[in-house]
Structure 1
Amino acid sequence: MKLNRWQNAKRGMLFGLLFRITGTLLPFLVQMVVIRKLGIEYIGIRGLFSSILTVFSLAELGFGSAIVFFMYKPIADDNEEELCALLNFYKRTYRIIGLVILMLGLIILPWLPHLVKGSYPTDINIYYVFALFLAQSVLSYWMFAYKTSLLNAYQRTDIINMIGTVVLVLTSLAQIALLYLTGSFYAYLIASVVFTFVNNILISATVNKLYPRIKTKGKVNSNTLRDIRVKVSGLLVGKLCGISRNAFDIIFVSMFIGLSYAGIYSNYYYVIVAVTSFTSIITSSLLAGVGNSIVLESKEKNYRDMMVLNKIYLVIGGCMTACMLCLYQPFMTLWMGKDYLFPNEIIVLFSLYFYIQKMGDVRAVYSDAAGLFWENRWRNIGEAVANLILNYIFVIKFGVVGIILATILTLFVFGFLGSTQVIFRHYFNSGKMEYLLSEMKYLAIALLVCSITYLICSYITFDSMLLLFVFRLIICFTIAPALYWIILNRGKDYRDVQTFLMRMIQGNQV
């Protein structure tokens, strides 16, 4: 079966946008209510325990991504028997993973107080709170989560996003109501557990309806099992890299600076996660289509597609970076108040961190679709180890600035340069210099666009923070795209993108 890749991608982006808008606004509102009703320390507790469970998710070993990768070929070949076997293997594996995470959670319980520098809220029992976080994580593995793999492999992320939007709205409304009615952090967390269960039930029912012939039955052959082990080994290292970059950052802040700072860091980092979630609409919608293209099309065609998609994506990423740089502080002031602000140099670093992430996103889609998980293992190990070491050294010397600086350095050297080396050595085989020069060109343009946009915004002053935010938002949404158009509209990149987008809009395979 040849998927209607771009039609599915457009549909996935549309519903992904709806989900991300909802998933950005409602959690911001809920987080604000938590701080107003309970305090910043509760956000710190939530960030810390979420980070610990993210570390525990290493037990998943990357099976989800590996199984989706191995589904691309049987989908292209209409091999339902192999799909059934893969889904059955995934189900049994997730049951075991859930048990492992439960055991790890019980083991760490006695050590929880040692992960917090200073005091924590006295009206909660941190062991009970952690148990609720643990229950939510374990339930997600035990209750039909494996069925999401089919929707991802068939490029039906629109369904995942539709269900996710409905459940998120219900969860947020329930949490806000419970916080106002009971003022209980426990009730707020129980709502998350309940709606995690609801989400998985809805996904399961939808998959059963769409793909009634694909059941959890059969066994994966020995050759595929061996290949899965290799891919999973590479994915495990990749997950370790991501965790060292994200989860350990908050853990280091909590251990070396304090829970209140961990709460503030969580707020700022949450903005990056929220903005990144919008760009991930593009990458997640493209992944299965790119996987299908890699199975059926030539490397040369995939390289040309990647270069055009990357240029479009970097323009979007550059405009978003300009918005972050200009709007971060006004937004945080409106959201959390002046008492919970970091200094401006941290805003510059967070914005740079965001853009460097975007530099490798499209290339990462092609790397994942090509199954280069094992080939990335040494690059991922290097990034994880370097980030942990630099986090420890820099947090002692520079505090929060050091945490972000360590992440930027390791992300650029290992995450961007290292990953580029891997995909061009093991898949594309040629074109690396053209790709790197293009990336440096767009980095220079992004720095110029962000600087000009920030300079213009700096001349806008109002007594009202809301008016300041609105006017800066208008400037960012007009000036940044206009600057990109002025710089790029007469070049070959612009013509290539125009042609690509026209064919995509018309529904043609590109």
Structure 2
Amino acid sequence: MRAKYSFINIATGLGNQLVITSLSFISRTIFISYLGVEYLGISGLFTSILAMLALAEAGVGSSIVYSLYKPVAENDQEKINVLMNLYKKAYMVIALIVLLVGLSIMPFLELFTKDTSVENIHLIYLIFLINTVLPYLYLHKNNFLSVCQKTYMITGIYSISSIASVCLKIGILYYTKNFILYLVADCFITIVTSAVLAIIVNRMYPFLKNKVTRKLDSETRSNIIKNIKAIVLQNIGTYLVFGTDNIIISTFVSITAVGLYSNYNMLIEICRTFVNQVFSNIYHSVGNLIAQETKEKVYSIYKVTMLLSFWLYSTLGILLLIMLEPFIAFWIGSKFLMSKGVVVILIIIFYERGMRNSISTVKTTSGIFHEDRFAPLFQAAVNLVISIILVRHIGIAGVFIGTLISALVVPFWVTPYLVYKKVFNKPIIMYFVKYFHFTIIATGTYFTTNLVWSLIEPDTFVTLVLKGIICLITINTIYILIFYKTKEFKYLFNIIKNIMGTILERFKINKKVTYKS
């Protein structure tokens, strides 16, 4: 059942992402054409500033979601209701805090936007702020569906919402070129989407509307508070590592540089989001698995997810290294290109973060929050110091070098150490042997694929797409030849084979029914 729900959630997530990605390219192209790269920089900067305010969430969501796995698995409706009531109240308070802190930042916006010619900066920021606050009012409902492994329903609603939003914004840009109206439209769609999801959850789980008649037990409350304290530190550290890049670039380089980077970041994040559609849906299945199965079973599934993580992230990383620059040149022009060195650093960061997905999933769903609570703060300190020093000497590349070094200094080894010690009870050397084995394979595959790629000169966009397909086939052929005898590959292959068999069987049944009728 876990595999079934995961596949449904992944399939709908990937389908949604394909549609949204296609529309996003159209939207971004029109955005650059009608508003320019400076507005793109402002958008990226305000997104980063408001991501800082999201730290007010303080791990409440992750902690309560972790506490929900067991009562959901046992269908303990009374305890679910108590936790959801706490969840709702917590997010109401968070929404108020984010709003007040966000408003207090408004007088200081000039510190980050002093070199921009964009007008109505404060109004633009205010709309960004409102759009950040509103989802908190309904977020507890969305997360409950995810814990119940019904993420595909959230994805379906957000698919319709995103399509409507992007189409509306494209129309606004094309006909009015009005950035403020563009933002207001996004805000309106957010309100409608959140309300619709809340109504759906209430109808599916009517017991959530029951009056809460008891208080949360002291043990659960104590665990939630303990985890929140730890996750607060982790969230702050994570933001200071990944959320401050745009702020540092805008402060020490320029708003325009933020706009240039945002195009690369958008393409990389599209790839990351595609893979996250797989892992975010596996996430809740792993939480369910840990709540019910033995450590050996969890470890065997973890090895499968590690292979899957490597396969997906290294494949996309190689494709990005080879195709990112020519794609941007064809898409919006060579004047939007950054140096090759910056691209290489960004892809290494992409791969390193991606390879931590499987181990981080086990860590979080096992409730390991407290033990490494200070690690993200140390990582953040390393990142900020190195980034600020290097950006003054080598420019924008220094910001990303700081991010990479800080990741290698802290989470690269701390996260696997905790999981192998506390969950698997196995020596950490097993993780690093496997990790470097995978990385050597990826490196060799990159050079082989790049050699094949260099034989074809991309002179048209169609040729570029053709080369991308050739690269994809080359990478996957190499990986299949290397891994086809492993237990993890056979496990994944059997899941895919069984699911495809089920789909084909249902297709045949439906075809017969249609024929008879």
TM-score range, shorter chain: over 0.9
Unaligned runs of 5+ in 2: 503-517
Distance change >3 Å, CA 27–CA 183, structure 1 → 2: same
1:168 and 2:162 matched = yes
What is the deviation of 1:418? 1.4
What is the deviation of 1:456? 2.2
TM-score normalised by L of structure 1: 0.94
Correspondence for 1:193: 187
Q: Find the aligned partners of 1:450 and 1:200 in 2 and give their Cα distance.
A: 43
What is the deviation of 1:259? 0.3
Query: 131, 143, 165: which one pairs with 2:126?
Result: 131
Correspondence for 1:205: 199
Q: Find the aligned partners of 1:383 and 1:185 in 2 and give their Cα distance.
A: 36
Query: 441, 445, 454: which one pairs with 1:449?
Result: 445
Q: Find the aligned partners of 2:262 and 2:192 in 1 and give their Cα distance.
A: 27
1:98 and 2:80 matched = no
Q: Given that residues 9 and 286 in structure 1 are in contact (C-alpha distance below 8 angstroms), is that contact kept between their aligned partners in structure 2?
A: yes
Distance change >3 Å, CA 119–CA 501, structure 1 → 2: closer
What is the deviation of 1:486? 2.6
CA deviation profile, 1:398-446 (whole Å, cap 9, x unmatched): 2111111111122233222111112122222214222221111001111
Q: Find the aligned partners of 1:361 and 1:38 in 2 and give their Cα distance.
A: 36
1:19 and 2:13 matched = no
408-417 or 261-270: bigger deviation: 408-417
1:179 and 2:176 matched = no
CA deviation profile, 1:13-59 (whole Å, cap 9, x unmatched): 01110121123222222122111001100010000000000001000
Distance change >3 Å, CA 216–CA 338, structure 1 → 2: farther
Equivalent residue of 2:371, what SS? coil
Correspondence for 1:34: 31
Distance change >3 Å, CA 87–CA 216, structure 1 → 2: farther
Equivalent residue of 1:214, what SS? helix
Q: Given that residues 319 and 476 in structure 1 are in contact (C-alpha distance below 8 angstroms), is that contact kept between their aligned partners in structure 2?
A: no
22-31 or 166-175: bigger deviation: 22-31
Query: 116, 139, 142: which one pairs with 1:145?
Result: 139
1:406 and 2:366 matched = no
Correspondence for 1:235: 231
Task: Calculate percent identity across the aligned residue pairs.
Answer: 28
Amino acid at match of 2:128: F
Query: 1, 5, 9: which one pairs with 2:2?
Result: 5
Q: Find the aligned partners of 2:211 and 2:65 in 1 and give their Cα distance.
A: 17
Q: Find the aligned partners of 2:202 and 2:344 in 1 and give their Cα distance.
A: 47
Q: Given that residues 253 and 262 in structure 1 are in contact (C-alpha distance below 8 angstroms), is that contact kept between their aligned partners in structure 2?
A: yes
Q: Given that residues 69 and 287 in structure 2 are in contact (C-alpha distance below 8 angstroms), is that contact kept between their aligned partners in structure 1?
A: yes
Which of the pair has the greater relative contact order for Cα pairs under 8 Å at 6+ separation? 1
Q: Find the aligned partners of 1:163 and 1:6 in 2 and give their Cα distance.
A: 22
Correspondence for 2:509: none
TM-score normalised by L of structure 2: 0.93
Amino acid at match of 1:164: Y
Q: Given that residues 88 and 217 in structure 1 are in contact (C-alpha distance below 8 angstroms), is that contact kept between their aligned partners in structure 2?
A: no
Matches within 5 A, 1:26-425: 26-121=23-118, 124-142=119-137, 144-215=138-209, 217-218=211-212, 219-425=215-421
What number of residue pairs does the alignment pair up?
500
Q: Given that residues 117 and 256 in structure 1 are in contact (C-alpha distance below 8 angstroms), is that contact kept between their aligned partners in structure 2?
A: no
Q: Given that residues 38 and 116 in structure 2 are in contact (C-alpha distance below 8 angstroms), is that contact kept between their aligned partners in structure 1?
A: no
199-208 or 241-250: bigger deviation: 241-250
Q: Given that residues 234 and 374 in structure 2 are in contact (C-alpha distance below 8 angstroms), is that contact kept between their aligned partners in structure 1?
A: no
Distance change >3 Å, CA 22–CA 235, structure 1 → 2: farther
Q: Find the aligned partners of 1:178 and 1:216 in 2 and give their Cα distance.
A: 43
130-139 or 22-31: bigger deviation: 22-31
Q: Find the aligned partners of 2:211 and 2:86 in 1 and give their Cα distance.
A: 8
CA deviation profile, 1:464-497 (whole Å, cap 9, x unmatched): 3x13421321222111111212333355654465
Q: Given that residues 147 and 203 in structure 1 are in contact (C-alpha distance below 8 angstroms), is that contact kept between their aligned partners in structure 2?
A: yes
Q: Given that residues 308 and 500 in structure 1 are in contact (C-alpha distance below 8 angstroms), is that contact kept between their aligned partners in structure 2?
A: no
Amino acid at match of 1:471: L
CA deviation profile, 1:227-269 (whole Å, cap 9, x unmatched): 1111112222222232122220111001100000011111111
Amino acid at match of 2:2: R
Amino acid at match of 2:144: L
Q: Find the aligned partners of 1:115 and 1:445 in 2 and give their Cα distance.
A: 43
Q: Given that residues 304 and 489 in structure 2 are in contact (C-alpha distance below 8 angstroms), is that contact kept between their aligned partners in structure 1?
A: no
Amino acid at match of 2:28: Q
What is the deviation of 1:287? 1.3
Distance change >3 Å, CA 493–CA 91, structure 1 → 2: closer
CA deviation profile, 1:159-190 (whole Å, cap 9, x unmatched): 11111100000000110111112110001100
Q: Find the aligned partners of 1:340 and 1:8 in 2 and give their Cα distance.
A: 42
Amino acid at match of 1:332: I
Task: Give RMSD over aligned pairs.
Answer: 1.8
Distance change >3 Å, CA 31–CA 188, structure 1 → 2: same
Q: Given that residues 88 and 216 in structure 1 are in contact (C-alpha distance below 8 angstroms), is that contact kept between their aligned partners in structure 2?
A: no
Q: Given that residues 359 and 416 in structure 1 are in contact (C-alpha distance below 8 angstroms), is that contact kept between their aligned partners in structure 2?
A: no
Amino acid at match of 1:175: K
Q: Find the aligned partners of 1:87 and 1:494 in 2 and give their Cα distance.
A: 39
Correspondence for 1:430: 426
Q: Find the aligned partners of 2:306 and 2:497 in 1 and give their Cα distance.
A: 16
What is the deviation of 1:271? 1.3
Q: Given that residues 421 and 427 in structure 2 are in contact (C-alpha distance below 8 angstroms), is that contact kept between their aligned partners in structure 1?
A: no
Q: Given that residues 242 and 384 in structure 1 are in contact (C-alpha distance below 8 angstroms), is that contact kept between their aligned partners in structure 2?
A: yes
Distance change >3 Å, CA 24–CA 431, structure 1 → 2: farther
Distance change >3 Å, CA 246–CA 217, structure 1 → 2: farther
Distance change >3 Å, CA 366–CA 502, structure 1 → 2: farther
Q: Find the aligned partners of 1:91 and 1:489 in 2 and give their Cα distance.
A: 47
